[in-house]
Amino acid sequence: MVGHNESSGKKSSEATNDVPTLNAESLQSNMKIIYYSRTFMSIIGGVIAGILGFTGLSGFVLYFLIMAVTSVGLIAKAGFQVHSYFDSWNQIILDGVLGGLLSFVLFWTFAYDIVHIF
Amino acid sequence: MGFSLGFLVGILGVLILFHAAYSTVQYRGLLKIMEEEFSGPPITVVAELLLGLVLSLWAGLTVPGTFLSIHPHSEENRIVALPANLDFMIFNHRGKVFPVEMDLKLKH
ipTM value: 0.78
Lowest mean pLDDT segment, chosen from A17-26, A107-116, B22-31, B48-57: A17-26
Check A40 against B56: CB less than 8 A apart.
yes
Percent of chain B with pLDDT over 70: 85
pLDDT for the residue A67: 95
Q: In this structure, are B9 and B53 located in the same domain?
A: yes
Average pLDDT of the residues of chain A = 84
Is residue B67 included in any domain, yes or no?
no
Q: How close does chain B come to A65, measured CA to CA in Å?
A: 12
Half-sphere exposure of A116 (CA within 13 A, CB side): 20
Among the partner residues A26, A74, A86, nearest to B61 by beta-carbon distance: A74
Judge whether A39 and A103 are in contact, CB under 8 Å.
yes
Dihedral sign, Cα of residue B47, residue B45, residue A52, residue A63? positive
Residue type, position B5, single letter: L
Question: Given pLDDT bands bounded at 50, 70 and 90, which one contains residue A7?
Answer: very low
CA distances from B5 to A71, A80, B104 (A): 22, 23, 38
Q: What gap in Å lies between CA A102 and CA A42, rounded to an integer?
A: 9
Is residue B83 included in any domain, yes or no?
yes
Among the partner residues A29, A36, A70, nearest to B68 by beta-carbon distance: A29
Check A33 against B77: CB less than 8 A apart.
no
Domains of chain A, by residue range, sit at 23-117
Q: How many helices and strands, by DSSP H and E, does chain A display?
A: 5, 0
Angle (CA) A45-A60-B11 rounded to 5° is 5
DSSP string of B18-58, one letter each residue: HHHHHHHHHHHHHHHHHT----S--HHHHHHHHHHHHHHHH
Domain that holds residue B20: 5-62
Dihedral sign, Cα of residue B72, residue B78, residue B82, residue B87? positive
Q: Compute the average pLDDT of residues B87-96.
A: 80
Q: In this structure, are B56 and B10 located in the same domain?
A: yes
